[in-house]
């Protein structure tokens, strides 16, 4: 049967449009700082490192060494995909190509809700830290939810504009944080800490104990946001070179920075480091800073923790906005989400939609859960488990994609098979531990909140069902899932 012009027009209107492609001029440094912002350096150093020491003992630095090695191996296959798959979408695109469009869309739904949950957790943490900073500076006592609401306004405004503005804001905050922690590290190590420098924190024989898994979970969690290097593909200059360079820079900078900082913290306290980490982990960094550098920097540290949390929210917000924009462009979510601002070239409708959805979740969380610490732990922990699961899926996707497509010229078996399989094994082990000790990830007693796992299961299932329906009802749209409307460099 011959198609009429109206039929052709209707079909064309359903296909993803090239007008939904974002644009920008980010360089490798801006990309790295965006990833680093996700992990909130000063928050990690002043909080998570102390908790890791409490779990695994003085060998906590090795947790970040192991995580760095594992993620560097993951980056081998990941960057190979970025070189040969010239699409935006990152995990969404790669899983779609390697493991099928149905699972790819399920993964995209899971990624969206996981990053959104992380955003909710960090928003809540930001509110508590801003409130504390204002009070420490002599200001009034402001409820955390008021500060969270103010942060929401700031992030919503920044998300409306081109990514370069966010990158500048993140860059300034990250440089200040890195300088402060670097000063702490240099001073402590130059003075030799409490009992002098020691190689015992680097002794692998002491690393394996009952707390090893939890320390590794904290360490791997610091790398969750480095998908952004490929997710911003259309917004960077020379993506074929910039993305792999930024990915490796992010992995080694994050891992090295935290490993050295953990070693410095242990050196600062000497033999009493573990007892301090167990008894009072939240003041460990501030006390060491006051002892070795300056007590006047305690307030500066508190302010930087607040701005670091705000920068982390901005980073996660931008990631969610781009997932929504990609899914809108592929008609896997309402197509208005795909809109690109005519001036700022930003995913402005996806950005404001993300703000509205997160705002609703924050209100519900505040009304239903009266303990803000529980909101922080649940959102961040559940989201982190979701993203780590996706990273394992991506590793399998790399192997299968190149097994079907063949070995590209200039590539090796190590890059397309061996390294991704090793990464998949490592990440699967981390995910299994996260699920087994889910109580440590989100809080509560063992087995108490396992029902929360229904959330990621629900969303990945919903994505798969949407894909199955598209395959049956709109095969042309199904064929374009994974941002396949036209590859470009």
> Residue 349: pLDDT above 80?
yes
Q: Note the pLDDT tens digit of each residue in 77-109.
A: 999 999 888 888 889 999 999 999 999 999 999
Can you give the pLDDT at residue 17? Answer: 53
Can you give the pLDDT at residue 485? Answer: 61
The two three-digit tokens of residue 258, written as one number: 């935290």
Average pLDDT taken over every residue of the chain: 88
The two three-digit tokens of residue 214, written as one number: 């939890």
> Residue 411: pLDDT above 60?
yes
Contacts of 269 (CB under 8 A, 6+ apart): 193, 194, 276, 284, 288
> Residue 488: pLDDT above 50?
no
Among 5-19, 372-386, 452-466, the range with the most confident prediction by mean pLDDT is: 452-466
> Residue 379: pLDDT above 50?
yes
Among 115-119, 204-208, 294-298, 444-448, the range with the most confident prediction by mean pLDDT is: 115-119
The two three-digit tokens of residue 266, written as one number: 């242990």
Can you give the pLDDT at residue 109? Answer: 97
- 3-17, 34-48, 139-153, 173-187: which range is least confident on average? 3-17
Average of per-residue pLDDT across 121-126: 92
Evaluate whether the domain defined by 28-85+114-389 bears CATH number 1.20.1740.10. yes
Sorted by where each begins, the domain ranges of the chain are 28-85+114-389
> Residue 353: pLDDT above 70?
yes
Can you give the pLDDT at residue 344? Answer: 83
């Amino acid at each position: 049967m011959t198609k009429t012009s109206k039929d052709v027009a209707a079909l064309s209107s359903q296909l993803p449009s090239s007008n939904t492609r974002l644009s920008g001029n980010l360089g490798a440094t801006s990309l790295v700082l965006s990833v680093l912002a996700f992990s909130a350096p000063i928050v990690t150093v002043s909080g998570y490192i102390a908790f890791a020491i409490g779990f695994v003992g003085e060998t906590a630095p090795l947790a970040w060494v192991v995580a760095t090695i594992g993620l560097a191996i993951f980056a081998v296959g990941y960057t190979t995909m970025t070189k040969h798959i010239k699409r935006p979408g990152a995990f969404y695109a790669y899983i779609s190509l390697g493991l099928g469009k149905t699972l790819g869309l399920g993964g995209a739904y899971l990624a969206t809700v996981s990053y959104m949950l992380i955003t909710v957790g960090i928003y809540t943490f930001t509110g508590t830290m801003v409130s504390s900073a204002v009070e420490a500076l002599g200001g009034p006592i402001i409820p955390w939810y008021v500060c969270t609401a103010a942060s929401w306004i700031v992030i919503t405004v920044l998300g409306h504009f081109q990514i370069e503005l966010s990158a500048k804001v993140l860059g300034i905050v990250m440089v200040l944080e890195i300088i402060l922690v670097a000063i702490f590290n240099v001073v402590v190590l130059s003075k030799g800490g409490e009992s002098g420098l020691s190689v015992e924190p680097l002794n692998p024989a002491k690393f394996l104990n009952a707390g090893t898994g939890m320390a590794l979970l904290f360490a791997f969690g610091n790398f969750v946001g480095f998908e952004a290097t490929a997710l911003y593909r259309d917004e960077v200059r020379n993506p074929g070179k910039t993305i792999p360079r930024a990915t490796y820079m992010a992995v080694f900078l994050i891992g090295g920075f935290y490993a050295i900082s953990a070693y410095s913290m242990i050196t600062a306290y000497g033999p009493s480091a573990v007892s301090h980490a167990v008894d009072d982990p939240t003041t460990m960094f501030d006390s060491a800073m006051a002892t070795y550098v300056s007590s006047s920097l305690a307030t500066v540290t508190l302010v930087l923790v607040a701005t670091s949390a705000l920068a982390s929210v901005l980073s996660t917000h931008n990631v969610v906005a781009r997932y929504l924009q990609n899914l809108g462009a592929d008609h896997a979510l309402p197509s208005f989400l795909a809109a690109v601002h005519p001036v700022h070239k930003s995913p402005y409708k996806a950005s404001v939609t993300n703000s509205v959805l997160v705002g609703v979740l924050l209100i519900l969380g505040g009304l239903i859960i009266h303990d803000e610490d529980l909101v922080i732990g649940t959102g961040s922990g559940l989201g982190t488990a979701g993203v780590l699961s996706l990273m394992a899926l991506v590793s399998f996707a790399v192997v299968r994609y190149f097994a079907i497509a063949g070995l590209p010229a200039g590539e090796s078996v190590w890059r397309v098979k061996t390294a991704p399989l090793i990464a998949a094994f490592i990440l699967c082990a981390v995910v299994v531990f996260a699920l087994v000790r889910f109580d440590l990830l989100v809080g509560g007693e063992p087995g108490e909140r396992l029902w929360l796992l229904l959330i990621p299961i629900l969303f990945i299932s919903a994505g798969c069902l949407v894909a199955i329906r598209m395959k049956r009802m709109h095969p042309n749209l199904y064929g374009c899932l994974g941002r396949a409307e036209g590859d470009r460099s």
